[in-house]
Structure 1
Amino acid sequence: MLVLSRKKGESIVIQDQIELTILSVEGDTVKVGISAPKHVDIFRKEVYLSIQESNRESVAPQQSDLKALIHQLRKVNNND
């Protein structure tokens, strides 16, 4: 992990496309502004993890449904 120190108003640039700017520091809270192309998704980590979990849950039933379909197809083929 790269660790950088920045003061209010200072920025960090990532690959010429993403700029992080420190907007304010109040106690333990840092306000960060992010400029990035529209195609770059930006999420707070807790939201990102929630999206990943939802995606895993939505795929899991489909995998079991696929296994059931394969089982049914094998039965049909064995009956021929």
Structure 2
Amino acid sequence: MLVLSRKKGESIVIQDNIEITLLGVEGDTVRLGISAPSEVDIFRKEVYLSILESNRASAAPETATMKSLVEKYRKQIQGE
């Protein structure tokens, strides 16, 4: 993990097209501004993890169905 120190108004740049600026610090809260192309998705980590879990949950029934179908057709091919 790269750790950087920044003062209010200072930025970091990631590659050529993402800029993160420290907007302010109030107690334990840090405000960041992020400039990035519209095709770059930016999420708070807890939201991102929720999206991943939701995607896994919705894909799970499809995976089980596919495994069931593969097993069914494997048996048919083998003449069981």
**If the length of structure 1 is used for normalisation, what is the TM-score?**
0.89
Identity %, equivalent residues: 68
Which deviations, in whole Å up to 9, do the C-alpha atoms of 1:12-70 show, x marking residues without a partner?
Answer: 11101100001111001000000001111100000011111111111111111011111
- SS of match in other structure, 2:58: helix
Aligned to 2:57: 57
Aligned to 1:32: 32
Aligned to 2:5: 5
Runs of 4+ residues deviating >6 angstroms: none
Structure 2 alignment gaps of length 5 or more:
none
Structure 1 alignment gaps of length 5 or more:
none
Aligned to 1:48: 48
CA distance in 2, matches of 1:67, 1:22: 49
Report how far residue 76 of structure 1 moved.
Answer: 3.5
Aligned to 2:18: 18
CA distance in 2, matches of 1:74, 1:2: 50
CA distance in 2, matches of 1:44, 1:10: 21
CA distance in 1, matches of 2:71, 2:33: 52
CA distance in 1, matches of 2:71, 2:11: 57
CA distance in 2, matches of 1:8, 1:61: 48
